[in-house]
Amino acid sequence: MRTLCINLKTPQESSSAEAFLVLSPRAQYRFPHYIFVDIGSTQHLMGGEMGCLEKALEIASKFAPDASAAIADTPAGAQMLAKWRPSHISLRGKEQESFKGLGLDALKDLEGLSPWAQKKPVEHMIAFFHTLGVYGLEGVLNFRLNSLRERWGDFGVLLWNRLHSQDSQVISPLVPRDPLVGYGYLDDPLGSAPLLMNRLKVHLDILFARLQGLARHAQRLDVVLHCEYSDKRYNLSIEPVSPTRDQELFEDLLFKKLEQQVLENPIREFEITLFDVPEKIQQLDFFEPRDNTEDRWRRLISFAKQSQCEMGFLQMEASHFPEQSFRLVTDWPEDFKPQDLVERQDEALQIKSVYAKALASSPRPSLLLEKPQALSAGEVQKLRFVSSLPSERIESAWWQISVQDLKNRDYYFALSHQGQLLWVFKDRINSQVYLHGYFD
């Protein structure tokens, strides 16, 4: 077994171990601030043990800026090295060689998953070795098992086993049970959105690190701000257009909402709740950029949604009537190919954006009125019809004919007196002409 120990140095919740599930499913928290991960069968996924160590320190920085880590054969050895030789990786099967040069005080950290019941026996042992003129761990390694047993009994046997990598400590798979919640109490109440956001970000870093380890996506973020001088609360809810792990997006949306609040009554405490859903599995090409057009589009829609603006794609619907043949959707169309159309003619080059390349060949206008506009007789006389024959006819069954329904139409292309190409139709029941769209 190869064990990675992360020393977060400040007390943490047991749920902090979830953030390190990206390294291995075998992760375990030990009070007050140690995380042990068995990377024996997963280290190759991170590019080796050094890759695991670097990734662990990257995750640990979200919990504590001065966190340390080390890799050894056993949890006890890894913990001691994380404290006394940060970022050290011991040779496989030669853990004791990494102990050379360490002082006897390092024995206090030779614990692993099972901490010393009391520190006093270790301190007495250190003092005894000092009287013998032994000041380094390599000197203790030379003592035989029977010698330590005769002097200290079972405690001496346990110490000898840990020094010689004989203490079996198994790291079990982690089963997540804790909700994704955070809580903060401010000694100095804050009424400034930027300062408050800085305090919230510390908790968001931890929550999204756990979310990454759990391989989940965030659907919604709820923040409750409690005021100092009253029972007033600010309830902020952030919900992007689709579930995501984009922490920066959630932070931007949250900060926009914070700026809209009038924090005359400063904030004393806050609660954060993250609602998660299973992630969408998407097979990507090895060379495909992860930040693609779809991600940027979803981010834009999320900002618009928060500002009560409607935007999205017009998706075609199966309907005979043009005003009912499109529906506004925010989901990225499955058959949408994000590639611009490039046309070359002689030495001229024309690039049509992916959002409008089909308009040139569209039989219907790019600007369609939601409700057809009736034209007066004078307005019709000013139009110049391109042809006398309709370009399209919509006709309902005889038993569905109604004067108000406009279900029997003949469509024509017409030019206005300003030279603009229009899309008009004539109601075949009452001969009324309606304007229905414009061509760009």
Write the pLDDT tens digit of every residue in 144-183.
999 899 999 999 999 999 999 998 899 999 999 899 999 9
Under DSSP, the state recorded for 62 is T
Q: Determine contact, residues 16/30, Cβ cutoff 8 Å.
A: no
Confidence of residue 314 (pLDDT cuts 50, 70, 90): low
Please give the pLDDT value at position 25: 94
The tokens of 283 are what?
């097979």
pLDDT digits (tens, 9 = 90+) for 33-77: 999 999 999 999 889 999 999 999 999 999 999 999 999 999 999
The radius of gyration computed from the CA coordinates of the chain, to the nearest angstrom, equals 35
Per the confidence metrics, is the pTM higher than 0.85?
A: no
Task: Say if residues 85 and 98 touch (Cβ distance below 8 Å).
Answer: yes
Q: How many Å apart are CA 295 and CA 291, to the nearest integer? A: 6
Confidence category of residue 341, pLDDT binned at 50, 70, 90: low
E-only strand ranges, 192-241 = 216-227, 233-238
DSSP state of 74: S
In contact, 70 and 82? CB cutoff 8 Å = yes
Give percent helix, percent strand, percent coil of the chain, each to the nearest 5: 30, 25, 40
Q: How far apart are CA 125 and CA 170, in angstroms?
A: 27
- pLDDT value at position 300? 75
Place of tokens 């406009």: 406
Q: What are 275-302's pLDDT values in tens digits?
A: 999 876 554 454 445 555 666 767 777 7
